[in-house]
Amino acid sequence: MAFLKTSLLNAFVYRGPMVVWLAANSLSLVTAVAIWFSASAGERIGGYTKPELITYYVAALSLQWLTGWFPFYSVCDEIKHGEIVSRLVKPISYFWQKFAEELGWHLVSSLLGLATTFLFAFFLRDFIVLNFSLTRILLLVPTIILAILVVFSFSLCMGLLSFWFLEVGTVDNLFWIARLILGGQGIPISFIPEAFQIVVKILPFRYMFSFPLEIYFGRLSAMEIIQGVSLQFFWVAILAQLYKLMWNRGRRAYTAFGQ
Amino acid sequence: MRDWEFRFNVLIWAVMNFSWFGLMLASVHLVFGQVEAIAGWNRDEVLLLVLVQALFLDFLWAFILLNLSKFSRLVRRGDLDLALLKPINLRFLVSTRYFDNDHYPRMIFLFFLIPRFVGRLAVQPTIFAWLNAGLLFGLGLFIFYNLFFMITTTNFWFTNLFNLGDFCSEVIDVGRAPVYIFKNQARIIFIYFIPTAFISTFPVQALLGQIGSEMVLVGMIISLVLLIVSQAFWRFALRHYTSTGS
Instruction: Calculate the CA B17 to chain-centre distance.
Output: 15
ipTM of the complex: 0.89
Q: Which of A27, A186, A193 sits opposite B174 (nearest CB)?
A: A27
Residues from chain B contacting residue A14 (CB–CB below 8 Å)? 160
pLDDT at B243: 65
pLDDT (mean) for A214-239: 95
- Cα–Cα distances in Å, from A148 out to A102, B128, B137? 10, 54, 42
Residues from chain A contacting residue B23 (CB–CB below 8 Å)? 177, 180-181, 186
pLDDT at B175: 92
Banded model confidence at residue A216, pLDDT cuts 50, 70, 90: very high
pLDDT at B207: 94
pLDDT digits (tens, 9 = 90+) for A127-159: 999 888 888 999 999 999 999 999 999 999 999
B215 to chain A nearest CA, in Å?
23
pLDDT at A258: 54
pLDDT (mean) for B48-74: 90
Assess B180–A contact: CB distance below 8 Å, yes or no: yes
Residues from chain B contacting residue A53 (CB–CB below 8 Å)? none
Q: Which amino acid is at A192?
A: I
Q: Which residues contact B80 (CB under 8 A, 6 or more apart)?
A: B74, B241, B243
Lowest model confidence (mean pLDDT) among A111-120, B5-14, B134-143:
B5-14
Quote the mean pLDDT of chain A. Answer: 90
For residue B220, is pLDDT > 60?
yes
- Give pTM, 2 decimals: 0.90
pLDDT at B212: 84
How many Å apart are CA B64 and CA B91, to the nearest integer? 12
Banded model confidence at residue A102, pLDDT cuts 50, 70, 90: very high
* Number of residues assigned to chain A: 259
Assess B154–A contact: CB distance below 8 Å, yes or no: no
- Burial of residue B17 (CB within 10 Å: 0-12, 13-18, 19+) is buried
- Cα–Cα distances in Å, from A35 out to A177, B35, B175, B235? 20, 11, 12, 39
Lowest model confidence (mean pLDDT) among A11-15, B97-101, B141-145:
A11-15
For Cα atoms B4, B10, B15, give the angle at the middle one, nearest 5 degrees.
155
**Cβ A69 vs Cβ A153: under 8 Å:** no
For Cα atoms B70, B75, B79, give the angle at the middle one, nearest 5 degrees.
85
pLDDT at B1: 60
Lowest model confidence (mean pLDDT) among A35-44, A55-64, A88-97, B35-44:
A88-97
Longest CA span, chain B = 63
Put simply, the answer to whether A27 touches B30 (Cβ < 8 Å) is no
Q: B200: left (phi > 0), else alpha (psi -120 to 50), else beta?
A: alpha
Neighbours of B60 (CB within 10 A): 23
Element (H, E) at A4: helix A2-13
Residues from chain A contacting residue B15 (CB–CB below 8 Å)? 170
- Within a domain: A259: no
What is the DSSP-derived secondary structure letter of residue A40? E
Put simply, the answer to whether B181 touches A34 (Cβ < 8 Å) is yes
pLDDT at B244: 59
How many Å apart are CA B173 and CA B54, to the nearest integer? 9
Judged by CB atoms within 8 Å, which residues 6-25 of B form the interface with A?
A: 9, 12-13, 15-16, 19-20, 23
Number of A to B CB contacts under 8 A, please give it: 94
Q: Which of A17, A35, A46 sits opposite B38 (nearest CB)?
A: A35
SS (H, E, C) A193-218: CHHHHHHHHHCCHHHHCHHHHHHHCC
For residue B29, is pLDDT > 90?
yes
Per-residue b/e over A179-215, b at no fewer than 16 CB within 10 Å? bbbbbbbbbbbbbbeeeeeeebbeebbbbbbbbbbbb
**Cβ A256 vs Cβ A84: under 8 Å:** yes
pLDDT digits (tens, 9 = 90+) for A186-213: 999 999 999 999 999 999 999 999 999 9
**Cβ B195 vs Cβ B140: under 8 Å:** yes
B126 to chain A nearest CA, in Å?
30
- Structural domain that includes position A198: 2-253
Neighbours of A5 (CB within 10 A): 11
Mutate to test the interface with B, among A14, A22, A40 (most CBs of B within 10 A): A40
DSSP B145-161: HHHHHHHHHGGGT-TT-
Assess B5–A contact: CB distance below 8 Å, yes or no: no
Closest CA to A172 of A161, A187, A185: A161
**Which is more confident, B205 or A92?**
B205
**Which is more confident, A252 or A182?**
A182
**Which is more confident, A237 or B245?**
A237
How many distinct structural domains can be found in chain A?
Answer: 1
pLDDT digits (tens, 9 = 90+) for B89-122: 888 888 888 888 889 999 999 999 999 999 888 7
How many Å apart are CA A198 and CA A67, to the nearest integer? 23
B26 to chain A nearest CA, in Å?
9
Put simply, the answer to whether B35 touches A45 (Cβ < 8 Å) is yes
pLDDT at A138: 92
pLDDT at B162: 76
- Burial of residue B215 (CB within 10 Å: 0-12, 13-18, 19+) is buried
**Cβ A48 vs Cβ B34: under 8 Å:** no
Put simply, the answer to whether A41 touches B19 (Cβ < 8 Å) is no
Three-state DSSP class for A38? Answer: helix
For residue B82, is pLDDT > 60?
yes
Helical spans, DSSP H, in B78-126: 80-84, 90-96, 104-120
**Cβ B34 vs Cβ A46: under 8 Å:** yes
How many Å apart are CA A242 and CA A23, to the nearest integer? 35
Q: Which of A17, A27, A30 sits opposite B163 (nearest CB)?
A: A17
Banded model confidence at residue A12, pLDDT cuts 50, 70, 90: low
pLDDT at A160: 94
